[in-house]
A and B are shown apart, each in its own frame.
Chain A
Amino acid sequence: MVPQDYGFFIDPQRCIGCRSCVGACAECGTHRGRSMIHLDEMDRFDSPQTVPTVCMHCEDPICAQVCPSDAIKRSEDGVVHAAQKPRCIGCQNCELSCPFGVPIVFSGLEQMLKCDLCYDRTSVGHKPMCATVCPSQALLFVRKDEVANLRHNKPLRDFLIGSVRVKTRNAIMVPDPDTPLHLDAALLIDGGL
């Protein structure tokens, strides 16, 4: 069980693109040698901004809803696990439907893998590998009541995709957490990413 009073707080603004998280993720016991965290450049031409993405662990995960083999399960502690190996048939529904672009389907293996909050570490009281090593602490894993002391911004766990409301276990840091964060494609398309 991952303790309920611990949360994962993500602030892409702090990310320095060093890829420590990517390297460290591959070192953990669950999927040795293969990294489950994404680190993308926003657009290197314009800016050095980079975006770290771990699974947000939704309350009612869309990936699980669209999974034909009923392979994606959320445990009682709110962690959405990678597809169960005997069931996953590699159809990619989850990869294409996840609002945050998290799951990865490895072709050949016919198997979806994704960030599982380093369950082997967090279930025994450690921090996830990425949040432990992150030099800028863009990835922060602490007791939920400590965040207010550590951060100027506040955690938001509420997103809008189209008119779909998605609530998550992990949080993104914003100044005004009471309004859901609208992931409007206009930001990408009109903004000319």
Chain B
Amino acid sequence: MSTLPLSQDQLRAQFGPHLNLAPPGGWLSDPTPDKVVETHCCFCGQQCGIKLKVKDNKVIGFDPWEEFPFNQGKLCPKGVKRYLQGNHPDRLTKAMKRTEHGFEPMDWSEAMDRTVAEIQRIQKEHGKDAFAVLSGVSLTNEKSYLAGKFARLGLQTKNLDYNGRLCMVSAGAGNKKAFGVDRAANSWADIEQAKVIWVAGSNVAECSPITTDYIWRARDKGALLIVVDPRITPLARTADLVLPLKPGTDSALTNGILHLLHKWNLIDWEFVKAHTQGFEEALEAVKDCTPQWTSEKTGLPVEAIEKAARIWGEAESSFLLHARGIEHQSKGVDNVLGCINMVLATGRIGRPGCGYATITGQGNGQGGREHGHKCDQLPGNRDISNPEHRKYICSVWGCTDEELPGVGQSAQEIMNAIHAGEIKGLLLLCFNPLVSLPDSQFTREALNKLEFFVCLDFFLSESAQHADIVFPSALHEEDEGTSTSAEGRVIKINKAVDCPGDARPDWQIMVELAKRLGRGKYFDHFTSPEAIFNELRVASKGGTADYAGITYEKIVKNMGVFWPCPTEDHPGTPRLFEGGQFFHPDGKAKFIPTPWRPPMEVVDDEYPIWLTSGRVVFHYLSGTQTRRIGFLVEQCPHPYLEIHPRLAEKYGLAEGDAVEITSRRGSMVLPAKVVKTIRPDTVFIPYHWAGALSANRLTARHLDPVSKIPEFKVSAVRLKKTTKDQFSPELAELQRMAFEARSGQSQMPEQVF
């Protein structure tokens, strides 16, 4: 049983989130570093270069790394303040067990013994697959690869999945279907050469801020920008054309555009004939998608749709970017394919200034989804159900085919199976499902049903609070390794400081567990991240995501290497599909028809308003790190309900009023933020918080049938005005913390004396 031992208040007092406001020693301490380490930001998929200033084994600040080509010193506020996650009062430094009196520190070895004993007991009583692993893609490539191998060969369970399932799997699935490979087709350098930029379902300015400058550079050369989003985001504000469609209608729009491209003969027939197949079927599927039909489905004016098709169709060069807005849907893969169809029909891919990419959200969202971290995948983006692929990996790992489990369940399905009592034990690392999975009340119930739950984390996240044993793991700056950015650029993360206390890198913990489980022969040689990487290189060789020719040395020297890179003398591949060569065996890209279907949940009399959720620039994912950094909390302390004044008026809501939002899953009370920058039939909540403030109390567990991504971006809710005393105590607490952070700043002494 994994119910919480203490009240939320008691846990918060002990484990936070508390705010780290100033560097170690305070602002008045001497800022001269002992050394400066070139590494990367620990947050989103852009993996910006940053230099960390280190003094006395503590990170005391940052310097911009202007030589790193992707961001050239630019950083978002999360990057600027990322160093404050270190030296944090909430940091876990001892293994802990949950008792009736709360979490108590315990001896490392004892924690290991207990964990191994529980794993063995559960697997003996209920079968190997009754113990699952849920992991995350803020981990390095090395750790992601190891998590896959550890689950399959260490624990011998098929049930391994990762939080990339909540991130880019729709894009990955769509890309593999259409192109035969899952990676951004171009490096970002092609964005600034494009004449038209189409951004679908991506709040670029807040979720991938550095990409903003690439788009602006193109616009300075005269490019037009089209933004598809139900909200007027900071980038959309200045766009040449904004298409604020109804949530969940993206594939209707892409179908409508394809219909018009065909009608107006804006198709690159030469390219379509030479390099693609399936165009006829795709056209057949959109033959009824007239502008009137599209307008009806999307709520956009006919002339806007026509203008968009005209701009897109007539462009000399173009770049299409999309992100979670279109992917977090029960037809996420269809939406992605609809975009790809638009790109393929105009033949604008694989050339300078012509490209397509999903903006991967998580730190290592790209690399973490390539090397066997997914329930159906083996390293090198191989397929776990393909006998050839299995054979190769068995040869690399030195195991038999019988030892290698088959396809497991996806992240949400694992949680469903835990809830249903089919999975009894869980190892959780780099994942905070209580905040990030939909229907958080359901997730909480599921975690409470586990017989044994072990968690690896550096802070006691809301999910970790339910664990029986917690191992303290390493922060990003406490270990080295590689990760792969949204561009497909493999970069090197360097160690800046040592782990405090008993904390150690996740890979060491997994290797030790494997040894104690008697599976050491597959893991004993992993004595450093580089040793793991070198095995990953071999395991990925010949796969689509081929890292064979990438070495640590080469990454540092070239400031990143783009895969595929099959041999050590290969320079890497920034732009894919040059000369119309795709990764399917016939070298052609595939059009996949995307017949229209509505979202799984639609508005009705009872729940008449669309709800969509997303990020703010100040927080990252479940907020385990960013909700502990003073500056970021000061800027955005708590969630709110973004609502259009016309809708607000209907409910008598003014700025700051308390509003109760209810869906079929649950309800919550938030302050209203009345803005004209959202569709009047839609409301928005940022999702980074837990408990009573979790937007995912409201979202549903509807999955895309192919990618198994939950439909975070479309739910139906109803609103009710309520009184401010209905705000949760957490909200008041966060407001108080933000206020203290602010006044702390204004009363602070001036400088180094």
* Interface flag for B213 (CB, 8 Å): yes
Contacting pair A137 B27 (CB below 8 A) = no
A34 CB, min distance to chain B CBs, angstroms: 7
Contacting pair B748 A136 (CB below 8 A) = no
Which one of B74, B217, B677, B747 contacts A134 once the chains associate, using CB atoms below 8 Å? B74
User: B184-225: which have CB < 8 Å to A?
Assistant: 205-206, 209-210, 212-213, 216-217, 219-222
* Interface flag for B22 (CB, 8 Å): yes
* Interface flag for B61 (CB, 8 Å): yes
Contacting pair B73 A16 (CB below 8 A) = no
**Chain B contacts of A30 at CB under 8 A?**
751
A133-B75 CB under 8 A given contacts A13-B238, A45-B674, A47-B232: yes
* Smallest Cβ-Cβ distance to A129: which chain B residue: B64
* Interface flag for B743 (CB, 8 Å): no
A104 CB, min distance to chain B CBs, angstroms: 10
* Smallest Cβ-Cβ distance to B80: which chain A residue: A23
Contacting pair B212 A16 (CB below 8 A) = yes
B421 CB, min distance to chain A CBs, angstroms: 45
A113 CB, min distance to chain B CBs, angstroms: 8
* Interface flag for A74 (CB, 8 Å): no
A132-B74 CB under 8 A given contacts A32-B28, A45-B676: yes
Main secondary structure of the interface of A (DSSP, over half): loop
**Chain A contacts of B62 at CB under 8 A?**
27
Which one of B209, B234, B631, B674 contacts A48 once the chains associate, using CB atoms below 8 Å? B234
Contacting pair B745 A33 (CB below 8 A) = yes
B87 CB, min distance to chain A CBs, angstroms: 15
* Interface flag for A81 (CB, 8 Å): no
* Interface flag for B372 (CB, 8 Å): no
* Smallest Cβ-Cβ distance to A31: which chain B residue: B751
* Interface flag for A183 (CB, 8 Å): no
**Distance in angstroms between the alpha carbons of A21 and B677 in the assembled complex:** 24
* Interface flag for B617 (CB, 8 Å): yes
**Chain B contacts of A13 at CB under 8 A?**
238
**Chain B contacts of A46 at CB under 8 A?**
675-677
A108 CB, min distance to chain B CBs, angstroms: 8
Main secondary structure of the interface of B (DSSP, over half): loop
Contacting pair B81 A23 (CB below 8 A) = yes
**Distance in angstroms between the alpha carbons of A14 and B752 in the assembled complex:** 35
* Interface flag for A1 (CB, 8 Å): no
A193 CB, min distance to chain B CBs, angstroms: 14
How many CB-defined contacts (below 8 Å) exist between A and B?
125
* Interface flag for A135 (CB, 8 Å): yes
Which one of B66, B220, B745 contacts A34 once the chains associate, using CB atoms below 8 Å? B745
A26 CB, min distance to chain B CBs, angstroms: 8
Which one of B27, B75, B205, B238 contacts A32 once the chains associate, using CB atoms below 8 Å? B27
Contacting pair B205 A16 (CB below 8 A) = yes
B221 CB, min distance to chain A CBs, angstroms: 8
**Distance in angstroms between the alpha carbons of A13 and B675 in the assembled complex:** 19
**Distance in angstroms between the alpha carbons of A48 and B393 in the assembled complex:** 50
* Interface flag for A186 (CB, 8 Å): no
Which one of B64, B212, B233 contacts A136 once the chains associate, using CB atoms below 8 Å? B212
**Chain A contacts of B645 at CB under 8 A?**
45
**Chain A contacts of B635 at CB under 8 A?**
19
* Interface flag for B109 (CB, 8 Å): no
* Interface flag for B501 (CB, 8 Å): no
Contacting pair A135 B748 (CB below 8 A) = no
Count A interface residues, CB 8 Å. 41
Which one of B64, B206, B234, B750 contacts A109 once the chains associate, using CB atoms below 8 Å? B750
**Chain A contacts of B232 at CB under 8 A?**
47-48
Which one of A17, A26, A31, A108 contacts B234 once the chains associate, using CB atoms below 8 Å? A17
A191 CB, min distance to chain B CBs, angstroms: 15
B350 CB, min distance to chain A CBs, angstroms: 27
Contacting pair A33 B22 (CB below 8 A) = yes
Which one of A19, A34, A150 contacts B748 once the chains associate, using CB atoms below 8 Å? A34
Contacting pair A136 B213 (CB below 8 A) = yes
A152-B220 CB under 8 A given contacts A16-B212, A30-B751: yes
**Distance in angstroms between the alpha carbons of A34 and B746 in the assembled complex:** 8
* Interface flag for A97 (CB, 8 Å): no
**Chain A contacts of B237 at CB under 8 A?**
47-49
Contacting pair B61 A27 (CB below 8 A) = yes
User: A97-121: which have CB < 8 Å to B?
Assistant: 106, 108-109, 111
Contacting pair A136 B205 (CB below 8 A) = yes
Contacting pair B677 A48 (CB below 8 A) = yes
Which one of B27, B64, B213, B216 contacts A33 once the chains associate, using CB atoms below 8 Å? B27
* Interface flag for A63 (CB, 8 Å): no
A127-B216 CB under 8 A given contacts A16-B206, A33-B27, A106-B746: no
Contacting pair A135 B750 (CB below 8 A) = no
A86 CB, min distance to chain B CBs, angstroms: 14
B499 CB, min distance to chain A CBs, angstroms: 25
* Interface flag for B167 (CB, 8 Å): no
User: A1-29: which have CB < 8 Å to B?
Assistant: 13-20, 22-24, 26-27, 29
**Chain A contacts of B216 at CB under 8 A?**
14, 136-137
**Chain B contacts of A34 at CB under 8 A?**
745, 748, 750
Contacting pair B675 A29 (CB below 8 A) = no
Give me 15 other A-B pairs in contact (C-beta within 8 A), A29-B31, A136-B213 excluded. Answer: A14-B238, A16-B205, A16-B235, A19-B77, A22-B77, A24-B75, A26-B745, A27-B62, A33-B27, A33-B745, A46-B677, A129-B64, A135-B209, A136-B205, A152-B222
Q: Could you list 21 A-B pairs, sorted by A, with CB under 8 Å?
A: A16-B206, A20-B80, A23-B80, A27-B80, A30-B751, A32-B28, A33-B745, A34-B748, A45-B674, A47-B232, A47-B677, A106-B746, A127-B66, A133-B73, A133-B79, A135-B212, A135-B213, A136-B205, A137-B216, A151-B220, A152-B222
Residues of A within 8 A of B (CB): 13-20, 22-24, 26-27, 29-34, 44-50, 106, 108-109, 111, 127, 129, 132-137, 150-152
Residues of B within 8 A of A (CB): 22, 27-28, 31, 61-62, 64, 66, 73-77, 79-81, 205-206, 209-210, 212-213, 216-217, 219-222, 232-235, 237-238, 617-618, 631, 635, 645, 655, 673-677, 745-748, 750-752
